[in-house]
Amino acid sequence: MGAWTQLFPPSPHFTEAQTPSLAGKVFIVTGGNSGVGFELAKILYSKGGKVYVAGRSTTKIATAIDKIKAEAAKTASLTAGQLNSLIIDLGNLSTIAPCVSDFLAKESRLDVLFNNAGLSRQPPGSVTTQGHEIHMGTNCLGPYLLTKLLLPILTRTAESAPQNSVRVVFTSSGIIDMAGPPGGVSFAELGPGQHSDNMNRNYSGSKAGNWFLASEFDRRYAKDGIVAVVQNPGTLRTPGWNGTPWLMRAMMAPIFQPPKMGAYTELWAGLSPDIKSGDGQKFIIPWGRWNTTPKKEHLASLKSKEDGGTGLAIEFFDYCEAQTKEFAAC
């Protein structure tokens, strides 16, 4: 499936109607205070789940929680769950361990981690608090460390949860099929002062990196009952397009879809019974289906050199570990 079917997908087939009761289940949604994450948190809450809305701003999270509760009250929902806040800045690695410690002090299980938050279209030269290229640091290094620190509670949850139900969902983008370095990621462009001056290339590299992380987490932790997958939520009318020239926004307007449609993609990735261990090397596209024709260079990156690939995903996973290990103490 090429770019066309991702821009104009068929109707979603896994929505609120297909979502079972989530009572007793616990979820984290990064970026859950706006856009796709807000819509996803709203669905999970409406089905009885306990949802942790993770973001940078206490005020924005509180506003989002109040809005979700108010909308649920209008529908007289009898299955509403719980909503809680978590403070995290994925662009500052020093905030991630405290966030995890806060969560672990309150919970004994985690059913699905939705690594939904991210940023795009940041000016060349922009960096994170630790000096990493801002797309790579926020979209990959932060989610990597968050996932790593939550592995113990995910593993404990998997011991008693239904098989393949404990998951980590990473968020990619269709841009990886249209732009980006050969193979998905260029290590030569990750060092200080070596970042590309093309923001689309930087963004695409981070979104390929999300696929690499999903593939490696899925492969390395399948033995612990954890499933990791990646998804492209779709071309959506979200804050990520803020700052884009008005002419481009006008040209894109006919294909923009509301954020709720992207939430359906993530909902399928996180809850569909069709997903199982070993699916980390696949790519989910809107609004919840597999891309049957991914680029061959990306598939080669996912394979080890021993299996005939380039080993790029393994190398990238190890890069993320090296860059974040000093921030890993909870």
Listed in sequence order, the residues at least 6 apart from 228 whose beta carbon sits closer than 8 Å to its beta carbon are 147, 167, 168, 169, 170, 213, 214, 215, 217, 218, 221, 280
Q: Is the pLDDT of residue 85 over 70?
A: yes
Q: Is the pLDDT of residue 30 over 80?
A: yes
Q: 6 pLDDT band (50/70/90 cuts)? A: confident
Give the pair of three-digit tokens for residue 161. 């949860």
Q: Is the pLDDT of residue 244 over 80?
A: no
Instruction: Give the whole-angstrom CA distance, residue 66 versus residue 52.
Output: 14
* pLDDT single digits (tens) 285-312: 999 999 999 999 999 999 999 999 999 9
Examine residue 287 and say whether the peptide bond preceding it is cis (omega within 30 degrees of 0): yes
The pLDDT value recorded for residue 74 is 84
Q: Is the pLDDT of residue 251 over 90?
A: no
Q: 58 pLDDT band (50/70/90 cuts)? A: very high
The packing angle between helices 35-46 and 259-271, to 10°, is 60
Listed in sequence order, the residues at least 6 apart from 292 whose beta carbon sits closer than 8 Å to its beta carbon are 1
Catalytic site positions? 203, 207
For residues 299 and 75, the model is more confident at 299
* pLDDT single digits (tens) 105-138: 999 999 999 999 999 989 999 999 999 999 999 9
Let me know the angle formed at the C-alpha of 119 by 218 and 133, rounded to the nearest 5 degrees.
85
Q: Once rounded to an integer, what is the mean pLDDT over residues 42-56?
A: 97
Q: Where are the beta strands (DSSP E) in 264-330?
A: 284-285, 289-290
Whole-model pTM?
A: 0.94
pLDDT, the chain, mean: 93
Listed in sequence order, the residues at least 6 apart from 259 whose beta carbon sits closer than 8 Å to its beta carbon are 35, 36, 38, 39, 236, 237, 238
Q: Is the pLDDT of residue 178 over 80?
A: yes
Q: Once rounded to an integer, what is the mean pLDDT over residues 267-278?
A: 98
* pLDDT single digits (tens) 193-236: 999 999 999 999 999 999 999 999 999 999 999 999 999 999 87
Using DSSP's 3-state secondary structure scheme, residue 149 falls into helix
Residue 229: φ, ψ to 5°: -135, 165
For residues 79 and 146, the model is more confident at 146
The pLDDT value recorded for residue 257 is 84
For residues 160 and 1, the model is more confident at 160
What single DSSP character describes residue 46? H
The pLDDT value recorded for residue 260 is 96
CA 209 to chain centre: 11
Instruction: Give the whole-angstrom CA distance, residue 203 versus residue 267.
Output: 24
Give the pair of three-digit tokens for residue 86. 């978590």
Using DSSP's 3-state secondary structure scheme, residue 268 falls into helix
Give the pair of three-digit tokens for residue 186. 């260029």
* pLDDT single digits (tens) 118-127: 999 899 999 9
